[in-house]
Amino acid sequence: MSRKPVHLAVYDTYADWETGHATAYLARAGYEIRTAGPSREPVTSVGGLRVQPACALDDVRPSESSLLILPGADLWDAGDDLAPFARKAREFLDAGVPVAAICGATAGLAREGLLDDREHTSAVSFYLAATGYAGGERYVDADAVTDRGLITAGPTEPVAFAREIFRLLGVYDAEVLDAWYRLFHDSDAEAYAVLEKAQASG
């Protein structure tokens, strides 16, 4: 089955550990992962990885995408350099295409007003409160939250973040998704047999 690509936003200081589970297993499930940067100039992650974006943000169209993933980055809290990515998230959501934001990207979405009327989470509630957003009553103390096409998670929950992405896109059925989460989050060796069986039959 042909699937539209998943777009992974990349920018200087992006947190490379936060999206690895999601992108690796989306790729294994047949999704093309396309990196989108502020331009097509290389960017450097917080871990020092130099990445050449496949496309510029301005060239990303919701109609040509399955999902936009926004990782955290020091730049989210250092000014307005990444505001265009939050605006692109609004464009995606308005078009009915999902968005997944983790760590500092949740603050960017809060500043854009995208969390005012959706349940959401982040690192801690007061981190988002510092943005002055109006959605504080919608904050949920959970590992990851999905509400009307928007996934949010804190920086310590890359596995739960991936789980919600897989659930939203229908990558795995419920039993396999539960096993995937138990294996990578809880180191539950029994879950491996479920995944191995699903892979063999898939």
33 membership: H or E segment, kind and range: strand 33-37
Q: How far apart are CA 195 and CA 202, in angstroms?
A: 10
**∠114-118-123 over CA atoms, to 5°?**
80
Residues tagged active-site:
103
Q: How far apart are CA 44 and CA 11, in angstroms?
A: 7
pLDDT recorded at residue 202: 65
Structural contact between residues 117 and 109, judged by C-beta atoms closer than 8 angstroms: no
Among 150, 8, 167, 139, smallest CA distance to 93 is for: 150
pLDDT recorded at residue 1: 45
pLDDT recorded at residue 8: 98
Look up tokens 């050449």; give the residue: 52
Structural contact between residues 76 and 105, judged by C-beta atoms closer than 8 angstroms: yes
Q: How far apart are CA 78 and CA 90, in angstroms?
A: 21
Q: How far apart are CA 86 and CA 186, in angstroms?
A: 32
pLDDT recorded at residue 198: 85
Tabulate helix, strand, coil % of the chain (nearest 5).
40, 15, 40
Helix (H, G, I), strand (E, B) or coil at 74: helix
pLDDT recorded at residue 26: 98
User: Rounded mean pLDDT of the chain?
Assistant: 96
**Residues of the chain scoring pLDDT < 70:** 1-2, 202
